[in-house]
Amino acid sequence: MMTSRRFPSRELGVALIAALAVLLACAMDAAAHGVTEGDKGYIQEITGVMILPFVYLGAKHMVTGYDHILFLFGVIFFLYRLKDIGVYVTLFAVGHSLTLLAGVLMNISVSAYLIDAIIGFSIVYKALDNLGAYRRWFGFQPSTRAATLIFGLFHGFGLATKILDYEMSLSGLVPNLLAFNLGVELGQLIALGLILIAMGFWRRTRGFMRHAFGANVLLMAGGFIFVGYQMTGYFLF
């Protein structure tokens, strides 16, 4: 009888939490010291239409946006057919694109902490959904498509808040913003590809269904950590 596991899923879970902690630490911005560095520094130095640079910045923003990635991971966790994956990813993309564009162009400035806390909650929601919690507790399954679209809207507001913080020059704003949005979708596809390859290996292991439970619990924990971190920031600053 085969007892060996091809991929150690418990260690995977620990690694996920550790990676989350490291990412959280890196996410805390270094205090500005006169010279604004990195992406924000670059954006403040340029004016006019610069399509490819903004496509790159959008892609980078999404690939390093672990809160968005974790939600996406939760959404596709139990999606196996490419068609299903395509539908849900499109719903998420439509949701966040709408509010990304509306949020920046209408200068809707919500507290970044609050909106990021809601994004953290979206991760918790999706993890619970994967665990079948709503059917267990309420006897009914809320529409996963609606949830993906609605949370997508909130993710987009989070993106818009970060973009407003970049202080993009008004000159060339609309084309640059559309380029950024395109970049976000490209970044999403890149992240999705990597996740699907990893999930492909994982799903083939014998222990997957057992470890899937633990993995979603860890995902939920990650979501709660994110909520707590953002809400603390909200009340402190």
Residue among 80 and 111 whose Cβ is closer to other proteins:
80
3-state secondary structure of 227: helix
Q: What is the nearest approach in angstroms of other proteins to the Cβ of residue 89?
A: 16
Residues ≥6 apart with Cβ < 8 Å to 177: 54, 100, 101, 104, 105, 163, 168
Cβ proximity to other proteins: between 117 and 127 the closer is 127
Residue 78: CB partners within 8 Å, gap ≥ 6? Answer: 130, 212
Which residues here bind other proteins, judged by CB under 8 A?
31-39, 41-42, 44-47, 50, 52-53, 56, 60, 78-81, 129-132, 135, 141, 167, 169, 193-194, 197, 200-201, 203-204, 208-209, 212-213
Query: Which residues have C-beta within 8 Å of that of residue 231, sequence separation ≥ 6?
Result: 113, 117
Please state the closest distance from residue 19 (CB atom) to other proteins, in A: 18
Smallest gap from Cβ 201 to other proteins, in A, equals: 6
Place of tokens 């010279």: 35
Shortest separation between residue 216's beta carbon and other proteins, angstroms: 9
Q: Cα–Cα distance between 28 and 26 in angstroms, integer?
A: 5
Residue closer to other proteins by CB (options 39, 207) is 39
Q: Which is nearer to other proteins, 11 or 167 (CB)?
A: 167
